[in-house]
Amino acid sequence: DRRELGAREATLAYLERIEALDGRLGCYLAIDAERALKAADAVDARRARGQPVGPLGGAPMALKDIFVTEGLETTGGSKILRGWIPPYQGTPARRLAEAGAILLGKLNMDEFAMGSSGENSAFGPTRNPWDPSRGPGGSSSGSAAAVSAGLCAAALGTDTGGSIRQPAAF
């Protein structure tokens, strides 16, 4: 049987999967379930009224913790920034929200994106979802591992020296 899921139903499914699996993978540094569900309800309400929901309407996504998110801690994988709650929304986060994406949370990364293994976050390493005894590679390790493990529909990362290409190969 094929059926469509509402944004809230899809968001809840991802949040449940994160709760079940992320403890052993270390993909997420911050999860904002309350904000995600509020955004999902808004998408569902717009859809029910026949209003446009945007090209990513209801898609549960996550961001590498280097992307600034208003009201949600942004650390860049470093304890130096622990507790910093940005007072503004960075362009990638803003554009995703405008397109209707649902932000589940922020993803682990090598500290300040300086690394290529996913093992250099101040908050612990990211694990490869296919073999947790291994790293996923890349400073965008949390983004790659979260998508691969089905902990979000899509994620943003960055790629300067292979931070996305390495996990794709691993």
Q: Nearest 5°: phi and psi at 127?
A: -105, 150
* Spatial distance between the Cα atoms of 170 and 168, rounded to a whole number of angstroms: 6
Q: Which of these is catalytic: 116, 141, 148, 163? A: 163
Q: Which of these is catalytic: 121, 139, 140, 148? A: 139
Q: Which of these is catalytic: 64, 117, 140, 143? A: 64
Q: Nearest 5°: phi and psi at 166?
A: -65, -50
Q: How many CB atoms lie within 10 A of CB 117?
A: 18
- Would residue 163 show up in a list of annotated catalytic residues for this protein? yes
Alpha-carbon 119 to chain mean position? 18
**DSSP track, 131-158:** BTTS---STTHHHHHHHHTTSSSEEE--
- Would residue 139 show up in a list of annotated catalytic residues for this protein? yes
- Helix and strand numbers (H, E) in the chain are 5, 4
Q: Which residues are catalytic?
A: 64, 139, 163
